[in-house]
Amino acid sequence: MGASAIQEQRDSEQSSTTSRTATDWRYSNLGYNQKHNARRRRSATQIALDPADFVAQWKVLVIDEGSKKIIDNVVKEDDILNENIANIESIEERREMNPDMDAIYILSPEPHIVDCLMADFERRRYRKAYLVWTALLHPQLRRRLDSGQAKAQTAGYETLSINYFPRESHLIDFRDPWSFPILYHPACNNLVAGHLEDLAQKADAIQITGICVSLGEYPKVRYYKTKTPIHEAHVLCSHLANFVQNKLDEYAHFNSNFPPPATRPQGVLIITDRSMDLVAPLIHEFTYQAMAYDLLSIKDADKVTYKTLVNEGRPDEQEKDVEIGEKDKIWVENRHRHMKDTIEKIMADFNKFLADNPHFTNSEGDATSLNAIKDMLAGLPQFQEAKELYSLHLSMAQKCMDIFAQHNLPDLAAVEQSLATGLDEDFKKPKNLADQVVRLLDDDNIGGSDRLRLIILYIMFREGVIQEDIQRLLAHSSLPPQDGEVITNMDLLGAHTTKALKDLKFHREPLFAKKTVPTAHSEEYVLSRFEPNLKLMLEDLAVGALDTKTFPYTRPELDNSEELALQSQASLRSAKPTWARNRMSTAENRQRVIVFMAGGATYSEARACYETSAAKGKDVFLTSSHMLSPAMFVRQVGDLSRDRRKLDLPIDRPKPQAPDYLFMKNDPPPRPPPNMAPPGIRPGQGVGLPSRAPMPPQKASGYDAGSYDRPAPKPPTAGLAAMSMNTNGGGPIPLNGNGADSKGKLEKKSKNKEEKEGKEKKKRGFFGTKKS
């Protein structure tokens, strides 16, 4: 789809304006807190309907599986129920006829979804339809809605750019782990061009371009161009950047109010990919978030949870999945801190709590021990929410400390840091690294996965070894021979892992100059000397020193005054006055930098974005297809040598089809409810559905049943637990899939009602705490 599609979409929406009556959609960007732009552009995170537009008329909200995930990610239950929504239904499921009520459709622009919609129009299931698409509809599909009954029944039509998922305030992903094999698997070369266009626009700027549109940014586009193009995918960033540039230009051409007026400097979008830094996904990190995702069993779906023991040692002790997210202040405040600092901060906060509440203090307790603090917390039932959060993070920190000690991570990490940086802890050329690696491979306390990561780092440090040496290293580590495929597959991402016996040493020019001054200021931090290339890139960008050969523009710069000014500013010996820094660092004037990392990003890179934002007065947003843990990265690299047919890529599955029962002329009569309907049922609300289970369109079963699938997505807000969708089985299905307490109805809640609660010396002093 190109300019013609956008023009056709624009003309169609303009022609339907007169049929919208008083419908006026308001959008607010909660993910980025751009309140001043809320009435001027479409939102990326939350949809709110203006109550005045409905004149107290009840409506049905109709969604599909894809749009449901977007809604679950950002909207609370009351945000929907308080806007005169009588029921929430799935367009792919059996539904009752409701010809006396209007419907609001929030749909994904997929062919089978359009088929389901046409079935509703043919049956006149609802009185009028207000259509909201999460992406630009293909022109061929759009034309189906411009004639006959579909046009007559359509009262409003809107297109948004919201098919992405904000994880944090400055971190967005697309929940697309299948992007990795499509980009790097040799058997998927024929899919790359189409996938890059999808990433660039996916039906009119939904993903990368959509983020720019949502932020109101028409940025300069730059991309990573490797200095040593030895792998096929080295052109990936160039192609993707040009796709994005074209889509941004098209959008600006057909939207005269884009970008909106702003006082901030023009933003920058940098397109890069996983090949820019192959060390970051493998090395052990000791900041809280990265360490937790590496070492702990964290469930990462729509809702991030960790199973912990609540009320440990008491009669009501139980295991509970506790959510970790933006509402968790302890997590948000500590996730980018070194683990040592995290533990000290949690202990300090707890001791402050005890000082503020002296009647809870146990005179015999030792508040410098994590276990003692957990015991104290167990006796504070009056502070249930705070107690659960403290217990969660104390449990996570304690588990990380146990693994750190049991798996000999201090010695392992010391060697990893030398391999990653090419310098030892004294910032000199390391010696006897091979002997140190072999000694660690002999250590029974180091697990198999950590040994494999160490071998990969060592081979990349050597810029390749002979094939026989790879097998010797694997055998010495008691690792299976097939793990050798993981090592050699790294070549598909730009590594150089093998060479012939008489080959000259491969020379790779470093992407950024090595830092020759210590970045670690104490013994505890010498295991965190490595800095991701993304951070070094952002630091150079902030001072106008980012190499234009390695990171060229898609459009030649006509005016480089901004870069020259930054360089001049960076060369001054005296800093700017404090008043000038404060004025230029306000949120309205901070330049935005958007980084897209194709092939997955790491949590250390996410931390780098936050740190650069704070240090350089920028707003840096990291976006990626998906977030990587070290274990997932190793699995995905290993799969690059698997038969494509065994990968179960969504593109290789049968296309979803609209269920046949949607086209039946007469719905079976609804099963009568077992009890009388309670008073106050809202008009048009369903009272039950047939017991015959529907056959919904086939959905993605996951990238790899044993590796990449995650639990069924659940919404991140507790309020959605009671939201239901009128569907099969004799009653509504809760929107988040948990129907244990569902009563089969959706009742409007009062706005005043409260929400539901739903080396040896290096070892010592690393965490600065003692264990009891």
Residue 30 has pLDDT above 60, yes or no: no
Burial class (CB in 10 A: 0-12, 13-18, 19+), 339: buried
Radius of gyration for the alpha carbons in the chain, expressed in angstroms and rounded: 28
Return the SS3 of 410.
helix
Domain pair 165-277+532-629 / 288-406, same fold:
no
Taking the C-alpha atoms of residue 519 and residue 517, their distance in angstroms, rounded to an integer, is 6
Mean of the per-residue pLDDT values of the chain: 76
Integer angstrom CA distances of residue 394 from 58, 347, 372, 373, 638: 47, 9, 11, 8, 35
pLDDT tens profile 624-669: 999 999 999 999 999 999 998 888 888 888 989 998 888 876 555 5
Confidence category of residue 552, pLDDT binned at 50, 70, 90? very high
Q: Which CATH number fits domain 165-277+532-629: 3.30.70.340, 3.40.50.1910, 3.90.660.10, 1.10.10.60?
A: 3.40.50.1910
Q: How confident is the model at residue 764 (pLDDT cuts 50, 70, 90)?
A: very low
Q: Which residue has the higher pLDDT, 681 or 615?
A: 615
Peptide bond into 259 cis (omega under 30): yes
| Span 462-486, average pLDDT | 94
User: Distance (Å, rounded) from C-alpha 329 to C-alpha 604?
Assistant: 20
Report d(CA 2, CA 251) in Å as an integer.
10
Domain definitions of the chain by residue range: 3-162+655-696+708-734, 165-277+532-629, 288-406
Tokens of 725: 């969708």
Distance spanning both ends of the chain, measured CA to CA = 63
Give the CATH number of domain 288-406; options: 3.30.450.40, 3.90.830.10, 3.60.21.10, 3.30.70.1400: 3.90.830.10
Token reading at 469: 């040496």
Q: Residue 196 pLDDT more than 70?
A: no
Angle at 447 between CA 444 and CA 453, to 5 degrees: 125
Residues in CB range of 742: below 8 A, 6 or more apart:
722, 724, 731, 732, 733, 734
Residues 6+ positions from 215 with CB-CB distance below 8 Å? 29, 32, 34, 44, 267, 592, 594, 621
pLDDT band, very low/low/confident/very high, at 702 (cuts 50, 70, 90): very low
Report the length, in residues, of the chain: 772
In this structure, whether the domain defined by 3-162+655-696+708-734 belongs to CATH 3.20.20.70 is answered with no
Quick check: 696 pLDDT over 60?
Answer: no
Query: Smallest Cα–Cα separation from 338: which of 771, 768, 629?
Result: 768
Tell me the pLDDT tens digit for each residue of 361-378. Answer: 555 555 556 666 666 665
Indicate whether 498 pLDDT > 80: yes
Looking at 2-6, 18-22, 529-533, which range is the least confident one? Answer: 18-22
Choose between 301 and 762: higher pLDDT.
301
